[in-house]
Amino acid sequence: MLAKKGKARATPRRRLAIIRALLVVLVAGFATTSVYVSTLIVQRNEALQQTSRYNTSFTIGQAALEIARLQTMLASYALRPGQMEEEQVRLWHDIVAGRIPVLESGDVGEFILADPRREAVLRDFKVVLRASEAMLPQLSEPGVAMRMVQLWARLNVPLTRLTSAAHGEGGNQVTGDLRELSRLHWNFSYLLIGMIVASFGLIVMLGWNNQLLSRAYADVQKLLRDLRVASSDLEDAHARLGRAMLESQSQNAVLRRRDIELNTQNTRFDAALTNMSQALCMGDGDQRVIVCNSRFLALFGVSREVTEANTPIEELFRAMEERGAFGISALRRVEEAQRQWVRERGAGSLTVEDENGRALALSHRPMPDGGWVATYEDVTAQRSAERRIRFLALHDALTSLPNRTLFREALEKALTRQEAGILPALLCLDLDNFKIVNDTMGHPTGDALLTAVADRLSACVRQDDIVARLGGDEFAVLLADASLEDTLALARRITELLGRPYQIEGRHVVTGVSIGIALADRPDMTADMLHQNADMALYRAKAAGRGTWRVFAAEMEAEVQARLAIELDLREAMARQELELFYQPQIDLKSGRLVGCEALMRWRHPVRGLVPPNRFIPIAEDLGLITAMGEWALHRACADAAKWDTEVKVAVNLSPVQFMTGDVVPVVSDALRQSGLSPSRLELEITESVLLQDNQATLTTLQALRRLGVRIALDDFGTGYSSLGYLRHYPFDKIKIDRSFVMEIGTRPDCAAIVDSIASLASRLGMITTAEGVETEEQMRLVKEAGCTEGQGYYFGQPLPLKEMTLLLYPGASAVGGA
């Protein structure tokens, strides 16, 4: 059947081949025509270009016109000679001259040079132009302009002829171009007719081709229909088979999936059991083991055999007790609790701790089939961490003493038990000089000192009393029940014990303590009030010279308020320039001459008036202002003294803070350099507290100051720690005997003896002694007898402002005080 179709189709195929060949021939014909058309268009374009050639006759006409205009200009110059007319003549010469190159170039040039007669006209044009230009300089002479007009007139006729010739030539060109265009037009027309005929041929062939193709298409369609019937039968059978297969496949897949799910669950369960952080044990309704995880084995140290399924739970517990990972009593409690929950089919959790402090947490849950599951966890570390955190939150990290929070709780608790005649007392403590220790010896030393203080403090109190560190160098003691006498006795004990020197890392450290005491002697006393009162008492203790204690009294409150007000003002005092220096004379006892003066700081407060130094210097030290104030005083005193034209010395006090923390050596040398004061006229007064710390730095600083040429005096000698050892260790020029000895020198023999021995010791060491606070003639006589070399005090003169001091320095000054 297919073979027959093949034969039948052989003829159309040959016909199609013929058509294809004919089409190729036609397309080739069209292509050739296109090329030819394109050539024709190029030709046509060229023809058009010819018609747009430059207009020769216009150009030559322009030349005639310009020459005529030139003649007109010349004529008007001849009639009315003038500057403007002359310029016009020159301009038109230029214009006419510019025309010549135009006539020689392009199409016009071609046209003119093509004929010798035309060329002659152009030559004549040039000749006339040259002649005319030659006459231009004489233009103003009479008749010249008219001669130039005549010269140019010569060109009028030839140029007009040339224009006419150009016009005629232009006409000829146009006719030629039109003829050419007409020829092109006919060529186009023939070509178009040819193309129309070819197109008709194309249409006929395409029609034939179409007919052949549709016949072939019909045959193919029929064949396709037969095939389609056969294939649909096959497809039906195939679909039935496919459905049956799919069904069996899906059944298979369900089975496989279930298998995988079961496996996965098993694996997950296993992984969960093995990896859980808690130990797990599952028991059945007959109290036999179902499963225990590996964590369980590790926690209780039992072997795998005893945790096999079906082992009685009781046996398991016996094995756990035997291993002893946790104490027996704790395990018994666990077993007991679980037995109880099994009976009740209840749930519960429990934490037990054994005698070694090991803690075990248990959580028990029943299962529906009478079995149960329980988890166990070792919470020993957790519990101790919790205890540690609680401790850290309520204790000071450095000293392990209760901190402010815990102390506050204890204080409040103590206050609630106030009734029944129990009287709590609060002591607030503040270390003296701690800042200096910290700053000069370093924080590690400071910290070690605080720890040592905490230890001594704890040793002072009873079991029930509480010692706390409130922060920095502040400590507090709460006496749960104490009489005033007990409290004062404790304060004394503490002051004495804490004031003893400390040995820290082989260094000698000295500090003291000031204590403020408040008693909860009223039923409505709150913790805040009690604390505030103790703080006020502490202020008083510090103001009283430190190393002592004060009990709160109602009137203190006002005083503390006043101190706070001073504090506020003092911060501003430097900036407001309220500080002044007063000078107190120092007299040589033998000669009665003025040998020096001590610079004393005064604060001229706008409202309070003149504030004495003992009222504000301690506050300035507390507030940390003393370094800046001391520096100012040093500069001021040096500057003042430099102006005095005498050998009188000036003494300036150095505060311990300033001495130990400040860069005192550069400051002093700076003050000397700026003022120009001779170093030998400057005396620095330091107190014993500077020497309290056994510190190499102190010695180094003192030696450095001595090297500057400055003199050093030990102030207030005899008070405080007064060690004669200082005199041996440190390089002093002068000792100032404290006023307390001088004041009682006449009444108390011991005072006289002390003054006497200090003076003789000093003289042996080659030091000067100054008696301070000399107020009467009697005192003056006695200190002189005791061997003091100099005196200072109201008897000789009170501290004076700079102006009065300056007056004193001049004639008659030696008679001051009647010495």
Partner 1 sequence: MTKQLGRRAFHSLSLGVAMGMGGALLRPAPARAELPKPKGDVILSITGRITRTNATDAAEFDRDMLEAMGMASFTTKTPWYPNPVTFEGVPARAVMEAVGAQGTTVTAVALNDYSTEIPIADFTRYNVLFALKRDGSYMPVRDKGPIFVVYPYDTDPILHSRSYYGRSAWQVTRLVIS
> What is the C-alpha to C-alpha distance for residues 515 and 427, in angstroms, rounded to an integer?
6
Q: C-beta of 18: minimal distance to partner 1 in Å?
A: 47
Binding track over 521-540 against partner 1, x by CB under 8 A: --------------------
What is the 3 state secondary structure string of 145-205? Answer: HHHHHHHHHCCHHHHHHHHHHHHHHHHHHHHHHHHHHHHHHHHHHHHHHHHHHHHHHHHHH
User: Strand ranges (DSSP E) for 520-672?
Assistant: 549-551, 579-588, 594-605, 609-611, 649-653
91 touches partner 1 (CB under 8 A) = yes
Q: C-beta of 43: minimal distance to partner 1 in Å?
A: 15
496 touches partner 1 (CB under 8 A) = no
Give residue 812's region: left, alpha or beta (phi > 0; psi -120 to 50): left
What residues from 683 to 702 belong to the interface with partner 1 (CB under 8 A)? none
- The 10 Å Cβ neighbour count of residue 664 is 23
Binding track over 719-738 against partner 1, x by CB under 8 A: --------------------
What residues from 613 to 672 belong to the interface with partner 1 (CB under 8 A)? none
HSE-CB of 620 using CA atoms within 13 angstroms: 26
Cβ closest to partner 1, residue 84 vs residue 229: 84
The β-bridge relationship of strands 549-551 and 512-519 is parallel
User: Strand ranges (DSSP E) for 308-347?
Assistant: none
98 touches partner 1 (CB under 8 A) = yes
> What is the C-alpha to C-alpha distance for residues 424 and 480, in angstroms, rounded to an integer?
5
69 touches partner 1 (CB under 8 A) = yes
Cα radius of gyration (the chain): 65
95 touches partner 1 (CB under 8 A) = yes
Which tokens is 109 given?
Answer: 């040039």
CA torsion sign for 265, 267, 269, 275 is negative
When binding is defined by CB under 8 A, the residue of 11, 31, 36, 106 that contacts partner 1 is 106
Of the ranges 3-11, 94-102, 487-495, 543-551, which one interacts with partner 1 (CB under 8 A)? 94-102
Q: C-beta of 91: minimal distance to partner 1 in Å?
A: 4
When binding is defined by CB under 8 A, the residue of 38, 41, 87, 725 that contacts partner 1 is 87
When binding is defined by CB under 8 A, the residue of 7, 10, 101, 214 that contacts partner 1 is 101
When binding is defined by CB under 8 A, the residue of 30, 36, 54, 810 that contacts partner 1 is 54
267 touches partner 1 (CB under 8 A) = no
Cβ closest to partner 1, residue 137 vs residue 506: 137
90 touches partner 1 (CB under 8 A) = yes
Written as one letter, the residue type at 411 is: L
Q: C-beta of 85: minimal distance to partner 1 in Å?
A: 10
Q: C-beta of 106: minimal distance to partner 1 in Å?
A: 4
Binding track over 446-475 against partner 1, x by CB under 8 A: ------------------------------
When binding is defined by CB under 8 A, the residue of 65, 75, 497, 813 that contacts partner 1 is 65
> What is the C-alpha to C-alpha distance for residues 500 and 452, in angstroms, rounded to an integer?
11
> What is the C-alpha to C-alpha distance for residues 266 and 260, in angstroms, rounded to an integer?
10
Q: C-beta of 105: minimal distance to partner 1 in Å?
A: 5
Q: C-beta of 79: minimal distance to partner 1 in Å?
A: 18
261 touches partner 1 (CB under 8 A) = no
Of the ranges 53-61, 214-222, 331-339, 596-604, which one interacts with partner 1 (CB under 8 A)? 53-61
Of the ranges 21-29, 61-69, 172-180, 576-584, which one interacts with partner 1 (CB under 8 A)? 61-69
66 touches partner 1 (CB under 8 A) = yes
Cβ closest to partner 1, residue 132 vs residue 769: 132
Cβ closest to partner 1, residue 67 vs residue 705: 67
Cβ closest to partner 1, residue 53 vs residue 339: 53
105 touches partner 1 (CB under 8 A) = yes
Give the 3-state secondary structure of residue 712: strand
Could you tell me how many residues of this chain bind partner 1 (CB under 8 A)?
24
Q: C-beta of 48: minimal distance to partner 1 in Å?
A: 9
CA torsion sign for 794, 799, 802, 804 is negative
When binding is defined by CB under 8 A, the residue of 3, 4, 52, 233 that contacts partner 1 is 52
Dihedrals φ, ψ of 717, to 5°?
Answer: -65, 135
DSSP label of 612: P
53 touches partner 1 (CB under 8 A) = yes
Q: C-beta of 97: minimal distance to partner 1 in Å?
A: 5
What spatial distance separates the first Cα and last Cα of the chain, rounded to whole Å?
164
Q: Of 594, 583, 708, which Cα lies nearest the Cα of 648?
A: 594
706's CB contacts (< 8 A; 6+ apart) are: 712, 731
Q: C-beta of 164: minimal distance to partner 1 in Å?
A: 20
Helix, strand, coil abundance in the chain, percent, nearest 5 = 65, 15, 20
Cβ closest to partner 1, residue 163 vs residue 445: 163
When binding is defined by CB under 8 A, the residue of 88, 399, 438, 445 that contacts partner 1 is 88
- The 10 Å Cβ neighbour count of residue 455 is 12
Q: Of 522, 542, 711, which Cα lies nearest the Cα of 614?
A: 542
Cβ closest to partner 1, residue 62 vs residue 669: 62
CA trace torsion 65, 71, 74, 80 (10° rounding): -90
When binding is defined by CB under 8 A, the residue of 47, 107, 135, 461 that contacts partner 1 is 107
94 touches partner 1 (CB under 8 A) = yes
> What is the C-alpha to C-alpha distance for residues 627 and 787, in angstroms, rounded to an integer?
36
- For 217-254, the DSSP string reads HHHHHHHHHHHHHHHHHHHHHHHHHHHHHHHHHHHHHH
When binding is defined by CB under 8 A, the residue of 55, 76, 776, 814 that contacts partner 1 is 55
CA–CA distance from 462 to each of 401, 488, 549 (Å)?
15, 14, 20
Q: C-beta of 99: minimal distance to partner 1 in Å?
A: 9
Give the DSSP H/E element, type plus range, for residue 326.
none
Of the ranges 88-96, 385-393, 547-555, 697-705, which one interacts with partner 1 (CB under 8 A)? 88-96
Q: C-beta of 162: minimal distance to partner 1 in Å?
A: 18
> What is the contact surface with partner 1 in residues (CB under 8 A)?
49, 52-55, 62, 65-66, 69, 83-84, 87-88, 90-91, 94-95, 97-98, 101-102, 105-107
